[in-house]
Structure 1
Amino acid sequence: MSPSTMFQKCVHRVLFTMFLYQFSIIMSPPSCFLYRVQAGSYTSTSEKMSAGSSTIHKVPLSDITVTSSCLPDGSAVTKCSVKGSDPRYSWSLDGRSISSHSRVTLPPPVSGTLRCDVINQINNLSRSINISCAVPLSDITVTSSCLPDGSAVTKCSVKGSDPRYSWSLDGRSVSSHSRVTLPPPVSGTLRCDVTNQINNLSRSINISCAVPVSDPVLDVRCLQNGSAEISCWVEKGTDPSIYLNVIAELEVYNVTSSERTVRVTVPPVSPPDSWNISCSSMNDISERSTNQTHDACPGESRSGLWSDWSRLLSPIAVFVLYTVLLVFIVNDLRKMKNEKNRSERRMRRTDQMEMEMEPTYYNDRD
């Protein structure tokens, strides 16, 4: 007898027995042996079912589907659907077990391979999907640190999916990376803007980094009266302090300034001597110095008075020079003219003397 025929006869027997049991014709329900259906075929293993049971046979699993949807907070709701009797579910994300229900909510961040395994007494099925949900941005922080050369390293950190960064300093765009190095001088309002496909955040900080001072520059300028103006300045540096020290033979001059330039006027030294000049500049992060030995400016007797006299005598000397030269020229011309006249008179006297000395001849016939 074929299994299908046996199954039909068993069903008929159960129905008939239930009818009799309902009218108390028999006191206990009979039993029947049903063949278990597995994977679409019948096996020789039989299952004994009572006539009062509501389940007559088991249905194998089929048509498994897995769906997912991302929520605004970055979590995901997933559902596993299947046809068949008594399904038992098992979820895993990247191999890690997460749930045993048909529907599960995954907390953020959600990313990886999601697998649903379903099993019953007959067979089992599974379905995998790749899932990824964007996480909204949160917890933005901006940090900065100043370097010894006056530059600054800044970093913008944020939680969330696929952040895109934009930096600005006092409204001027400077970078599009999460980490940026700002060249000196660094001062102003630094802002980091971060955005993704869900939301955007921003954070601003005030930043200021001290710039190290440069080497001080010394300059000595001699004045007309023999004194000297000594200057020292720095070209770079944040809030520099300058210390100028001039050591003469008997005098010491010290000048301090919080400006970028400092000056001191040293009176004339007689007799002239050399000066030892030192200038140092410093701020909170650096210090530089310059030393120089410079000859003292000439005194007034050698410089000032002679300069005044030279300015006064210069046009007079030129006038005298030209006058003397003109006198010499006039005298030379006069000499040349007198010499020429004497030469002409000398020639005329010579001619007259020659004429007087010439003999006179007479004709005898006269």
Structure 2
Amino acid sequence: MKSLLLLVCLLIPEVNAMEIFAASGETIVLPMYTRLEHTSGQICNKYEWIFMGRYEKYKKKLGSVDDLCQRIEWTNKTRPHCSLSRNGSLQLYEVRVHDSGQYTVTTYHLSQVKKTQDVFNLQVLDAVSQPVVRLTCPKDDDQPVFSCLAANGTSILTSITVNGELLREKTGAEGDRDLFKVSSSAPWNVSCSVTNIVSQKTINVQYNMCPVPLSDPCLETFCFPDGSVNISCWTENGSEPLFSWFVDGNPVQSTSSWNVQENLMSGSATIAMNVSCSVRNPVSTVHSPVTTVFCPVDAPHRIFHVFPKILLYVMYNALLVNVIIMIRNNKS
């Protein structure tokens, strides 16, 4: 009768797997729920962690402790990267999508009879990236169309709202794009959200009109005597332009050296430099040719180089006048 009771107590009920979600790159802990027993650190509950990957066909032992308290850990030469804590929990480092799968921890009594078993289904998802909203205006009288795209992310849910009206929601795969027709007239206040179970990104954009593609930009420069310069970037065609400046290939913002105000940049050009601008709007991005800008300083000593020539010219004319006067006097 006693042996029968012991057998009943040692039976392990079937445990449902716990679902765990994590974003790629996170560090997570799979807990050891069972309280481990030990005798003066000499005899321990034996336990082991086993991994069955979603994309693999065989099991891996990630770590274990035997009944003599000897710890055996995974070498971390291959994924998943992990370690055992003192209480038996499994810590996973910088998880990736291929670390998704089933993690099982089994514990044993000091008598080495199986005691408990916990199962974790880990699903690692790539976090969504910042979405990009674009507006397309057909040439005919058809309705304008908005698109919303997140380049990265797993199991994305996309929703878009225009002027407070939720147009549609759609679940898609990685990098999926959805098109949304809008019936309201401009201006349009657009809010697009992309989300999955581990992350969410939202972007808000306002369109005052259907955008017009930009023409290629041109640069105009005006030098001042002190070596400073004003440079303007302009396009003949295009709506809602946004300007970016580059000097010697590097992006330029307003600093003590340069003052940038949309399509106008001013600063010092006493040293030759290569300047360009780019212009973008919701439907196009264009770039100007690279222009070499150099504004030499008009130094005061340059005036004195010119003075001897002026003096020589005056003296020559005075001499010529005297000669003419002398000739007339001789004739008279």
Q: TM-score, normalised by structure 2?
A: 0.33
> Which of the pair has more CA radius of gyration?
1
Q: TM-score, normalised by structure 1?
A: 0.30
Q: Choose between structure 1 and 2 for higher RCO, CA contacts under 8 A separated by at least 6 residues.
A: 2
**Structure (1/2) with the larger helix percentage:** 1
